[in-house]
Amino acid sequence: MISQTEENYLKVLYNLTSLKGEASVNDISKQLDIKMPTVNSMMKRLAEKKLVVYESYKPLKLSVEGKKLAALIIRKHRLTEMYLVEKMGFGWENVHNIAEQIEHIQAPEFFDKMDELLGFPKVDPHGSPIPDADGNIASDNYLKLSDCKVGESVTFMAVQPSSEDLLKFLTSRELSLGLELKIKQIEPFDGSMVISYANKENEMLSSKVCDKLLVSKKSKKK
């Protein structure tokens, strides 16, 4: 059996390693706001359970089994977020904290039902892919809006990472997933961008924001 606490460690490790393939004790410590010695002993415990690859002073990795387990927790998290938004009417900025708790519910039929009622969605409300029931996750090949050039026209696909404040900001600008963004101008000094979309003309977005908006160039194959 795996505890709620252990599940949270696995999930954080999954997210941290999804970038570089490995993570440090320090990274996890900061992410979870838990002191390093606690993280250290938890990593040893998860290594005992064959979920984490631990060697003294070396970066941490998830085992194959650990990766699958983490993906299944993330599946529950993202299905929940989608359900809260689509079926219960929550805003995309208000679902993360609830999902953070519900992801630990042990009742496969509950999440299967959500999945079914949602029509087996592929992404969550922030554009992140939902792992399938085997823990496989589709890799998007989106790029950051901030890496695009003037004149380009792209589709807004995901927010990552998506903090509550950022999501609120995007809502206030009526910036929602799926919109066509036209890049009008890029300020060389601070990297802020002027874009047009929907019925908005020449909206200014800071580079801090543009860094977190993921877009696709060619209209996404359906």
Partner DNA sequence: TTATTTTGTTAGTATCATCTAACTTGTTAA
Partner DNA sequence: TTAACAAGTTAGATGATACTAACAAAATAA
22 binds DNA (CB under 7 A): no
Q: How far is CA 193 from CA 14, 93, 179, 210, 216, in A?
A: 32, 23, 16, 8, 17
59/191 with CB nearer DNA = 59
- Is residue 193 within 8 Å of 186, Cβ to Cβ? yes
Half-sphere exposure of 107 (CA within 13 A, CB side): 7
Taking contact as CB under 8 A, which single stretch among the options 30-38, 97-105, 143-151, 164-172 is the one that binds a copy of itself? 97-105
Q: Which of 10, 13, 16, 42 binds DNA (CB under 7 A)?
A: 42
64/105 with CB nearer a copy of itself = 105
7/211 with CB nearer Mn ion = 7
76 binds Mn ion (CB under 5 A): no
34/98 with CB nearer a copy of itself = 98
The Cα–Cα gap between 70 and 62 comes to 9
Which of DNA, Mn ion, a copy of itself, none interacts with 96 (beta carbon under 5 to 8 A by kind)? Mn ion
The Cα–Cα gap between 29 and 38 comes to 8
6 binds Mn ion (CB under 5 A): no
- Is residue 25 within 8 Å of 60, Cβ to Cβ? yes
Instruction: Tell me how far, at minimum, the Cβ of 212 lies from a copy of itself, in Å.
Output: 25
The Cα–Cα gap between 201 and 172 comes to 15
Query: Could you give the string, one character per residue 88-107, with x where binding to Mn ion holds by CB under 5 A and - elsewhere?
Result: --------x---x-------
Taking contact as CB under 7 A, which single stretch among the options 51-59, 105-113, 118-126, 140-148 is the one that binds DNA? 51-59
- Is residue 23 within 8 Å of 53, Cβ to Cβ? no
Closest residue by Cα to residue 162 from 91, 111, 102: 91
Binding site for a copy of itself (CB under 8 A): 84, 87-90, 94, 97-98, 101-102, 105-107, 109-110, 113-114, 117
